[in-house]
Amino acid sequence: MEGLVRFLKSSRTIVLVVAMIALGATISPALNGCSGDYDGRRYAQAGTSDAHRWSDNSSSDELSRFNAIFKTYASDPGNTRQLKHFRDAYKRIRAAYVEDIPEQRLIDTAIEGVRAKDPQPGSMTAEALVETALDAMTASLDPHSAYLNPEELRESEMVTSGEFGGLGIQVTQEEGRIKVISPIEGTPADRAGLKPGDIISAIDGKPVEGMSLRDAVNAMRGEPGSRIRLGIQRDNTPPFDVAITRAIITIEPLRWRLEGNVGYLRIVSFNEKVADGVETAIAEMKRNTGGKLQGLVIDLRNNPGGLLDQSLAVSDEFLQTGTIVSIRGRELGSDRTFRAERGDLIDGLPIVVMVNAGSASASEIVASALQDHERATVIGTRSFGKGSVQTVMRLPVEGALKLTTALYYTPSGEAIQARGVIPDVTLTGGDDGGEPAHEVDLPGALPAQGEARHSTRGAVDVNACPAIGESGDRELGCAINLLRAGSTENFLASVGLKARL
């Protein structure tokens, strides 16, 4: 495992799942995600040589159309630095994006983005015009690709340490509405009671209808200690307001406890502290049970992801051998397979992994790796389905592109993208606070690839399981009962069901 982590660090493969900027948010074309995104965020320098060939003549024709718009609307049309900035970004998208996008479509969206501002001739600075064009061009690709201006790039780099300022919430935009993917556990948004599926209808009394995701996120940002009032719409509940105090958010990536001799490991996000924390937690569980640990429940519910190397390391801590995940992209040399090294922290004891619609990217890598190797049984609801890799490419002039450059594939060869992890045992009857969003619901999401290879073996109403802890967590009760039953068949039989073979 240490060799694997050293390899990742030396290859500068730092990846975010659903990336959370200062607000802590987002699966969005305008901002950075493990949240992860950052699972799948590799850093690269955009150079001049590309692995793919494309027609320089055709590109010149298309770029000349943008040049004409630039000269018409820029207040400083002689700013060749910004024109070069646009060309660098455009060429990098053409070469590196996971799909081959027609040149005309890219330039059309860039021009439409500028014209949507309804500018007067000579009214936009070259910098503002190019940023507007790049925002529009990348937004047309998929929900996770984006242009990051220098400020956004700095903010996007804050999350890997596990500390940032804001509300602690991941949001997306669906049919023009700002929808909560998940609050981050232990943050102001979580303590205020926000739930996956909540619709944010107003910010400090101002309706958000018609507002872009970026503008909504910016409106929710502010100084730590300041208050914000969100209008919330929740299924089967009258609209209500929630007051939240912004804070510097330090994410404790995991916590653990024992339920009898069963270990419970809650992983909140995959930041740089997780793998070491898991090892420490397992050692403490073994010590506190006198070496009689019965098994482990790994709770990945509402975990939006995080660093790729940490998801690989956590998977490797329970696998003896085999593929953890594969990455397949369009650029030559971009395909990679990551494998486990020998060593299992709990020596083959049974594992149950909990997932739901808020489990994304790095969480899906861990869940699918353990599931495919039959090292764990997965219980819950279908995960989010964020199975794409975002590479952050610094541009020569300024800022960076965050481009989807590849897709993740499970050990069995199934693409996670837009499909998610299908649990072995599906839980029903839970209170998710509304219809949870999935990757496939996002406008412009890349479609699922290939055929599904997993199907659930049975569905259980959570009310058939005991409530655990002060929160009365029946889903956890189901997971513990499943582990103690010794097999999926025994567990389903205990609640009067027969497993689907």
Domains with residue ranges and CATH for the chain: 12-154 (no CATH), 163-250 (2.30.42.10), 254-387+406-494 (3.90.226.10)
Q: Which residues 6+ apart lie within 8 Å of 321 measured at CB?
A: 339, 340, 341, 342
pLDDT at position 33, please?
A: 35
Instruction: Assess contact for 71 and 77: CB atoms under 8 A.
Output: yes
Nearest to 334 by CA among 52, 90, 56, 4: 52
20-29, 51-60, 64-73, 258-267: which has the minimum mean pLDDT?
20-29
* pLDDT score of 91 more than 70: yes
State how far the Cα of 103 lies from the Cα of 59, in Å rounded to an integer. Answer: 7
**32 pLDDT more than 70:** no
Lowest mean pLDDT, pick from 104-108, 120-124, 155-159, 207-211 = 155-159
**Alpha-carbon distances, residue 325 vs 14, 310, 413 (angstroms):** 15, 13, 9
- Alpha-carbon distance 304 to 168, whole Å? 12
CB distance 156 to 171 below 8 Å:
no
Return the pLDDT at 9. 32
- Distance from C-alpha of 211 to C-alpha of 88, rounded to nearest angstrom: 29
Contact (CB, 8 A) for 220 and 203: yes
pLDDT of residue 334: 85
Q: How does the average pLDDT of the chain come out, rounded?
A: 86
pLDDT of residue 163: 54
CA distance 300 to 267: 6
Question: How far apart, in whole angstroms, are the C-alpha atoms of residue 32 and residue 27?
Answer: 8
**Token pair for residue 216?**
């909504």
Question: Which range among 162-176, 196-210, 469-483 shows the weakest confidence by mean pLDDT?
Answer: 162-176
Q: What's 471's DSSP letter?
A: T
Active site (catalytic) residues: 361, 372, 386
Q: Is 296 exposed, middle or buried (0-12, 13-18, 19+ CB in 10 A)?
A: buried
Cα(74)–Cα(52) distance, integer angstroms: 32
Closest CA to 19 of 432, 294, 392, 301: 392
End-to-end CA distance of the chain: 34
Which of 116, 137, 134, 136 has the alpha carbon at shortest distance from 73?
Answer: 116
User: CA dist 310 to 129, 224, 275, 344, Å?
Assistant: 38, 29, 6, 16
pLDDT class for 205, splitting at 50, 70, 90? very high
Higher pLDDT, 354 or 165: 354
Helices (H), 97-165: 103-115, 126-139, 150-156
Question: Is 70:83 a contact under the CB 8 Å cutoff?
Answer: yes
Report the residue count for the chain.
501
Tell me what pLDDT residue 324 has.
98
> Between 295 and 151, whose confidence is greater?
295
| pLDDT score at 431 | 67
User: pLDDT over 70 for what percent of the chain?
Assistant: 85
What is the pLDDT, as a whole number, of residue 465?
96
For residues 172 and 234, give the distance between their C-alpha atoms in angstroms, rounded to a whole number.
Answer: 16
Token output for 384:
């989010």
Strand partners, 241: 231
What is the DSSP secondary-structure string of 331-345? STT--EEEE--S--T
**Average pLDDT for 2-26:** 30
Looking at the DSSP assignment, which residues form a beta bridge with residue 389?
406
Token pair listed for 498: 């027969």
